[in-house]
């Protein structure tokens, strides 16, 4: 017999509660004070679902839940355990550490500018930010919990229930939890690095070395910008950069079942990249200089390796300038913003 929890989770995944459709339409209409997301005019329109519009109450509830360790089975981990504000909401460990010291396989990426993404995880296997919230809760290597059990425990917190009622018109439950967390994460906007200020006309915002590195980055000598471009310095593609001749983690192939996608991972944003190490999908490279030297090597041979990966002739000065340029992508306003703190 299929358990009620499995049925509920399936309903959550489909976004349906057919037995109470009218009630949900009433409960999940925008409640509270609308929140206007601030972002530069150069950014495209963010992706905010009509049935989870931003309000101050929803964001506040999501912020509290983000830092709440009751989301993990043994009450030791919160979302913030692996997504730390000082590191642009990324992890400082190669792979995240779950309950009882269990280790995962992938490096936890930054949560900056998720409001502009329509697929999540490094293999693109999750189609919405709301559904992504469920993944670490149920993963045995992370929170190792059941979202229904987690919300049953959290719902005993009267303060959270009051805020849930203001935000969504009902007591805290699994549907509210994933939507509130997604609402908070959509407000994590990073757009004011020294590089941004330089682009906006403040020519003193970055050093001469950084300018040289910027020209190298966007120039044909390195072709870095063929993968890292646009407002988020990120092309929405999955690519195999020749990290290994044999990948333990099959990457995008796990989702598509297409052997041509083996070893392919979503191209990461380079915003705040100096703060988000270690690097690559498995956290196997410690620092930015080593990352640049890897890409300059052209990577290892693999049948799916991207043809943009080629050996580069970079001098030591070139490498130093590129590293310095990448540090200008760090947004201190974002990493110190009190609105995002516990």
Q: What count of other Cβ atoms lies within 10 Å of the Cβ of residue 121?
A: 15
Q: Average pLDDT of 265-274?
A: 98
Is the CB of residue 262 less than 8 Å from the CB of residue 250? Answer: yes
Span between the terminal Cα atoms of the chain, in Å = 41
Distance of alpha carbon 44 from alpha carbon 251, whole angstroms? 28
Q: How confident is the model at residue 31 (pLDDT cuts 50, 70, 90)?
A: confident
Asked which of 147, 166, 189 is the last residue of a domain, the reply is 189
Does 34 share its domain with 182? Answer: yes
Question: How high is the pLDDT of residue 25?
Answer: 42
Question: How high is the pLDDT of residue 243?
Answer: 98
Distance of alpha carbon 39 from alpha carbon 48, whole angstroms? 14
Does 46 share its domain with 149? Answer: yes
Residue 144 domain-assigned? Answer: yes
Question: How high is the pLDDT of residue 217?
Answer: 98
User: Which stretches within the chain are classed as H helix?
Assistant: 4-14, 21-27, 56-66, 79-82, 129-138, 147-154, 158-168, 174-186, 194-199, 208-218, 253-256, 288-297, 316-327, 332-335
49: buried, middle or exposed (CB in 10 Å: 19+, 13-18, 0-12)? middle
Asked which of 127, 158, 189 is the last residue of a domain, the reply is 189
Does 183 share its domain with 199? Answer: no
Q: How many independent structural domains does the chain possess?
A: 2
Give buried/exposed letters for 240-250 (b at 16+ CB in 10 A, else e).
bbbbbeebebb
Q: Which residues contact 74 (CB under 8 A, 6 or more apart)?
A: 99, 100
Residue 340 domain-assigned? Answer: no
The alpha carbon of residue 270 and the mean position of all alpha carbons in its chain are separated, in whole angstroms, by 12
Element at 266 (helix H, strand E)? strand 265-266
Nearest to 181 by CA among 79, 99, 98, 91: 79
Give buried/exposed letters for 73-101 (b at 16+ CB in 10 A, else e).
beeebbbbbbbbbebbbbbeebbbbbbee
Beta bridge mates, 264: 251
Question: How high is the pLDDT of residue 30?
Answer: 56
Q: How confident is the model at residue 224 (pLDDT cuts 50, 70, 90)?
A: very high
Does 133 share its domain with 212? Answer: no
Does 316 share its domain with 202? Answer: yes
Q: What is the CATH number of the domain that holds 116?
A: 1.10.760.10
Is the CB of residue 177 less than 8 Å from the CB of residue 134? Answer: no
Residue 50 domain-assigned? Answer: yes
Where is pLDDT greater, at 265 or 25? 265
Residue 43 domain-assigned? Answer: yes
Q: Average pLDDT of 19-39?
A: 64
Q: How confident is the model at residue 7 (pLDDT cuts 50, 70, 90)?
A: very low
Residue 341 domain-assigned? Answer: no
Residue 342 domain-assigned? Answer: no
Residue 289 domain-assigned? Answer: yes
Is the CB of residue 106 less than 8 Å from the CB of residue 122? Answer: yes
Residue 17, pLDDT > 80, answer no
Kindly report the pTM of this predicted structure.
0.91
Residue 29, pLDDT > 70, answer no
Q: Which residues contact 209 (CB under 8 A, 6 or more apart)?
A: 320, 321, 324, 325
Does 67 share its domain with 165? Answer: yes
3-state secondary structure of 264: strand
Does 38 share its domain with 108? Answer: yes
3-state secondary structure of 153: helix
Does 185 share its domain with 203? Answer: no
Does 178 share its domain with 222? Answer: no
Does 26 share its domain with 171? Answer: yes
- The DSSP result for 211-260, as a single string, is HHHHHHHHSTTT-GGGTS-TTTT--S-EEB--S-SS-SS-BTHHHH--GG
Nearest to 113 by CA among 325, 286, 278, 331: 331
Question: How high is the pLDDT of residue 26?
Answer: 43
Does 124 share its domain with 210? Answer: no
Structural domain containing residue 309 = 194-335
Does 165 share its domain with 216? Answer: no
Position of tokens 């201190």?
A: 332
Nearest to 271 by CA among 192, 181, 218: 192
Question: How high is the pLDDT of residue 18?
Answer: 33
Asked which of 172, 189, 206 is the last residue of a domain, the reply is 189
Residue 267 domain-assigned? Answer: yes
């Amino acid at each position: 017999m299929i358990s009620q929890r499995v049925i509920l989770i399936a309903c959550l995944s489909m976004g349906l509660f057919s037995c109470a459709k009218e009630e949900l339409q009433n409960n999940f209409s925008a409640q509270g004070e609308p929140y206007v997301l601030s972002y530069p005019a150069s950014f495209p329109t963010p992706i905010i679902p009509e049935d989870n519009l931003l309000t101050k109450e929803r964001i506040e509830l999501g912020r509290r839940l983000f830092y709440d360790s009751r989301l993990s089975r043994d009450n030791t981990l919160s979302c913030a355990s692996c997504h730390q504000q000082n590191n642009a909401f990324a992890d400082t460990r190669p792979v995240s550490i779950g309950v009882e010291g269990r280790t995962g396989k992938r490096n936890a990426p930054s949560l900056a500018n998720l409001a502009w993404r329509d697929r999540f995880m490094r293999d693109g296997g999750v189609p919405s930010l709301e559904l992504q919230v469920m993944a670490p809760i149920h993963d045995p290597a992370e929170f190792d919990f059941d979202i229904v059990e987690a919300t049953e425990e959290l719902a005993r917190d009267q303060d959270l229930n009051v805020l849930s009622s203001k935000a969504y018109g009902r007591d805290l439950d699994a549907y509210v939890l994933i939507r509130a967390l997604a609402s908070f994460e959509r407000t994590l906007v990073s757009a004011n690095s020294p590089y941004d200020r330089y682009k906006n006309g403040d020519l003193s915002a970055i050093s001469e070395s950084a300018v040289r590195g910027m020209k190298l980055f966007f120039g044909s000598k390195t072709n870095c910008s063929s993968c890292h471009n646009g407002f988020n310095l990120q092309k929405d593609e999955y690519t195999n950069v020749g990290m290994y001749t044999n990948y333990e983690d099959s990457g995008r192939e796990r989702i598509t079942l297409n052997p041509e996608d083996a070893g392919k991972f979503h191209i990461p944003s380079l915003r705040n990249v100096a703060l988000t190490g270690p690097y690559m999908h498995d956290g196997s490279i410690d620092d930015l200089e080593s990352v640049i030297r890897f890409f300059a090597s052209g990577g290892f041979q693999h049948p799916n390796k991207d043809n943009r990966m080629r050996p580069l002739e970079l001098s030591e000065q070139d490498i130093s300038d590129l590293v310095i340029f990448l540090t200008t992508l760090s947004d201190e306003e974002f990493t110190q913003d009190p609105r995002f703190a516990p």
